[in-house]
Amino acid sequence: MTKIAILGANGRLGRVVAKAFIDAGFDVRTVTRTGKVPAEIEGATAVAGDALDRQSLIRATEGVDIIFNGLNPIYTDWGKCLPMAENVMAACHANNALHLFPGTVYNYGSPMPAVITEDTPFHPTTEKGRIRCAMEDLFRREADAGRVRTVVLRAGDFFGGTGSGSWFDLVVAAKINKGAYTAPGPADLVHEWAYLPDFAVGFVALASNLDKLGSYEALNFPGHAVTDIEIKAAAEKALGRSLKMTSMPWWVLRAGSPFVAMWREIVSMSYLRFEPHQLASTRLEGIIGEIPHTPLDQAVAQALEDIGIATVAGTSKAA
């Protein structure tokens, strides 16, 4: 049985990916600082490991065939990203493990290309974009040197899964129980979203088709390239009632950004909410077959349920 270690298993992405690999029959090990398995993950082995401690991480991933790198420090703490990435490379090399990594669209900077393919060149214009590019440069160097094989699967903003911390739960759905849908940008602007259960199944499919992949691959995951108008309509269908369209008060964040570190970091990435973009892939379907894609109405309904918002068909209690 193929063994996979999930780094960042306490995070929203890590939990969903762990479940997908368990469901697919993989031997899953969750690696967290505390060594505790998140309550919703059944069937995984919990191991303690610190991604900022190289030897600790090597020990925690000993004997695995694949390392899924779901590490993602909070927005104000991205100075940890490169040291963590270097330690993950060391752990992969020490254990001869494949490296799976979720990429972002930060690498492309502003102005955003309207359609991003695997051949679109990076042009980072923010510190976070430059950090992400540096991480992927590291991964490619390690692959080219024959030390670590990496597969990057790039996606847009996440929705779906339990927990908090995404634009969907913190902004879009934050006032839905009060009858309001909050658009983070122009309501008719096309924005790239990734429904996490689909994204996770995409990683499983890649891990099951390694014979079709080289030593370094960077692939796009086309998710839901939709407008807030479309997401609002899906939410209204799920709820069985109309919602008022409201806008995120960016002026408040901009005014307070000199004094609030998190607001400053969010404002630095605000262009993503004002420039249309979507991901396209010329290669993914040829590697894994049909790309996982839950219809938008179903995905939005389940995403609302996941964060405790009752839907017409669901059973969740309103948050």
**Mean pLDDT confidence for 165-188:** 96
**Mean pLDDT confidence for 68-95:** 95
Domain membership of residue 27 as a residue range: 1-161+192-224+275-292
* Residue 84, in any domain of the structure: yes
**Mean pLDDT confidence for 96-101:** 98
Q: Is the four-CA dihedral 296, 10, 55, 21 of positive or negative sign?
A: negative
Q: Is the pLDDT of residue 313 over 90?
A: no
pLDDT recorded at residue 319: 39
CATH number at 60 reads: 3.40.50.720
pLDDT recorded at residue 315: 52
pLDDT recorded at residue 39: 77
CB atoms within 10 A of CB 139: 25
**Mean pLDDT confidence for 13-37:** 94
Average pLDDT, the chain: 95
* Residue 44, in any domain of the structure: yes
* Residue 24, in any domain of the structure: yes
**Mean pLDDT confidence for 281-299:** 97
Q: Which of 129, 135, 127 is nearest to 83 (CA)?
A: 135
* Residue 170, in any domain of the structure: no
What would the two tokens of residue 220 be?
A: 């796009």
- If pLDDT is split at 50, 70 and 90, which confidence band does 38 have? confident
What domain count does the chain have?
A: 1
* Residue 46, in any domain of the structure: yes
**Mean pLDDT confidence for 69-83:** 92
The CA distance from 193 to 155, in Å, is 7
Question: What's the pLDDT tens digit per position in 226-242?
Answer: 999 999 999 999 999 99
**Mean pLDDT confidence for 5-21:** 95
- If pLDDT is split at 50, 70 and 90, which confidence band does 40 have? confident
Q: Is the pLDDT of residue 318 over 60?
A: no
**Mean pLDDT confidence for 1-21:** 95
- If pLDDT is split at 50, 70 and 90, which confidence band does 317 have? very low
Burial class from Cβ neighbours inside 10 Å (0-12, 13-18, 19+) for residue 121 reads: exposed
Question: What's the pLDDT tens digit per position in 125-163?
Answer: 999 999 999 999 999 999 999 999 999 999 999 999 987
Residue type, 74: I
Q: What percent of the chain has pLDDT over 70?
A: 98
Q: Is the pLDDT of residue 99 over 50?
A: yes
- If pLDDT is split at 50, 70 and 90, which confidence band does 314 have? confident
Q: Is the pLDDT of residue 50 over 60?
A: yes
Q: Is the pLDDT of residue 290 over 50?
A: yes
* Residue 154, in any domain of the structure: yes
Sequence-ordered strand ranges (E) for the chain: 3-7, 27-32, 45-48, 66-69, 98-103, 115-116, 150-154, 157-159, 180-183, 191-195, 216-220, 224-226, 244-247, 278-279
* Residue 282, in any domain of the structure: yes
What would the two tokens of residue 312 be?
A: 């017409």
Q: Is the pLDDT of residue 92 over 50?
A: yes
pLDDT recorded at residue 195: 98
Q: Which of 100, 205, 221, 186 is nearest to 151 (CA)?
A: 100
* Residue 312, in any domain of the structure: no
The CA distance from 308 to 16, in Å, is 17
